[in-house]
Amino acid sequence: MDFLADFLVKFVSQFQSPTLGFLIGGMLVAALGSKLKIPSAIYQFIVFMLLMKIGLNGGIEIREANLTAMALPALFSMLIGIIIVRFGVSLFAILPGVNKMDGIATAGLFGAVSASTLAVAIVMLEEESIFFEAWAPALYPFMDIPALILAIVLANIHLKKQKEGKDTKVDVWGIIKDSLRGSALSALLLGLALGLFTNSGTVLESFYEPLFRGFLSILMLIMGMEAYDRIKELRSVAHWYAIYAAFAPLLHGLLAFGLGYVAHILVGFSPGGVVILAVIASSNSDISGPPTLRAGIPSANPSSYIGASTSVGTPVSIAVGIPLFIALAQIVFEL
């Protein structure tokens, strides 16, 4: 009972974070019918700035990192992305009233990674003074790319079977290139490269660091408003998507937390790194994933996979998942 009480106290305390306040505030503003609008260009710029900061910081630290210690978490990240997609596709295949292509696209989006959720986790770990390797956010593409590729490949295989013998070639390399060219991954990888190969520490500390939390608060406000708006779209498709989006992020995150704990034992992966791995697994792509899946699985209904992700999955991952994994880490690692 003492363990449970301690856990609940730590979990509830996470909701005092101002970051979560901006997310909830955005949802309330939209629910009250406010005409407040933030231009998409500002949203895109903010996301770019956040990812550049994460990439620069990661690249600088990778230069000094023990690559052997990074290898196992990177391998686990790839494995988690693949498991999430395979599980999601298999689950949607047996649920009534679910279109096959919509189910594959939804599983792919939930296997991919949300840059904004990752940014929130970094801020909340810093607020709790929980150490994590600066290269840990660079695990993002190791999970994101395999998940998107697998979803698109499975969708193309399904289409090929439907065409009864007609040859439909799956261009895996083309899918990889499209994923790498996506705006979110491009910004993150650019930041990593600049951090690795240039002396960018000064610009990171003087420009990106001071702006990071302010930009993140605006991003959370935007995401809160969009989450409420997307609920309307989700009502037009099978309710299974909403149920999946409510529970899948937490299950995915717990799977990743378990594998992260194994990496902690084997290679000394930090408690904060375990939390980041759990958070990126629980997140669902909100930037690079939707356009990639729109192009790769054009027959899927965006209202199903984007609606499930934005209106339910992302709020659950941020408002419940991050506090849950931080509180769990504080108990498990006795922080």
DSSP string, 120-158: HHHHHHHHTT----TTGGGGHHHHHHHHHHHHHHHHHHH
| Structural domains of the chain sorted by starting position, each given as residue range(s) with its CATH number in brackets | 38-332 (1.20.1530.20)
Residue that wins the pLDDT comparison between 330 and 115? 330
Q: What is the pLDDT of residue 259?
A: 97
Q: Which residue has the tokens 């790319």?
A: 145
pLDDT digits (tens, 9 = 90+) for 309-320: 877 888 889 888
pLDDT band at 287, cuts 50/70/90? low
pTM: 0.79
Report how far residue 180's alpha carbon sits from residue 244's, in angstroms, rounded to the nearest whole number.
28
Mean pLDDT to the nearest integer, 74-102:
92
- Cβ(195)–Cβ(62) under 8 Å? yes
Closest Cα to residue 55, out of 257, 215, 195, 232? 195
Query: Which amino acid would we find at residue 150?
Result: L
Handedness of CA 326, 327, 330, 333 (dihedral sign): negative
Q: What is the pLDDT of residue 170?
A: 61
Q: What is the pLDDT of residue 85?
A: 95
Mean pLDDT to the nearest integer, 135-142:
85
pLDDT band at 80, cuts 50/70/90? very high
The pLDDT of residue 254 is above 90: yes
Q: Is 36 left (phi over 0), alpha (psi -120 to 50) or beta?
A: beta
Angle, CA of 43, 175 and 182, to the nearest 5°: 15
The pLDDT of residue 171 is above 80: no
pLDDT digits (tens, 9 = 90+) for 98-108: 888 889 999 99
**Average pLDDT, rounded, for the chain:** 82
Handedness of CA 123, 127, 128, 132 (dihedral sign): positive
Mean pLDDT to the nearest integer, 10-28:
72
The full length of the chain comes to 335
The two structure tokens encoding residue 133: 């390797």
Q: What is the pLDDT of residue 51?
A: 78
The pLDDT of residue 295 is above 70: no
Closest Cα to residue 179, out of 104, 88, 109? 109
The pLDDT of residue 294 is above 60: yes
Of 53-62, 203-212, 245-254, the range with the lowest mean pLDDT is 53-62
Angle, CA of 180, 186 and 187, to the nearest 5°: 160
Q: What is the pLDDT of residue 298?
A: 79
Cα–Cα distances (Å) from 87 to 43, 93, 142, in that order, read: 32, 10, 18
CB-count burial class (<10 Å; 0-12, 13-18, 19+) for 32 = exposed
Query: Which amino acid would we find at residue 90?
Result: S
Handedness of CA 251, 253, 257, 260 (dihedral sign): positive
pLDDT band at 64, cuts 50/70/90? confident
pLDDT digits (tens, 9 = 90+) for 183-213: 766 777 888 889 888 888 888 888 888 888 8
- Cβ(254)–Cβ(87) under 8 Å? no
Closest Cα to residue 101, out of 328, 319, 303, 327? 303
Of 75-79, 125-129, 220-224, 242-246, the range with the lowest mean pLDDT is 220-224
pLDDT band at 263, cuts 50/70/90? very high
Torsion angle (degrees, nearest 10) of CA 318, 184, 135, 227: 0
- Residue 103 sits at φ, ψ, to 5 deg, of -65, -40
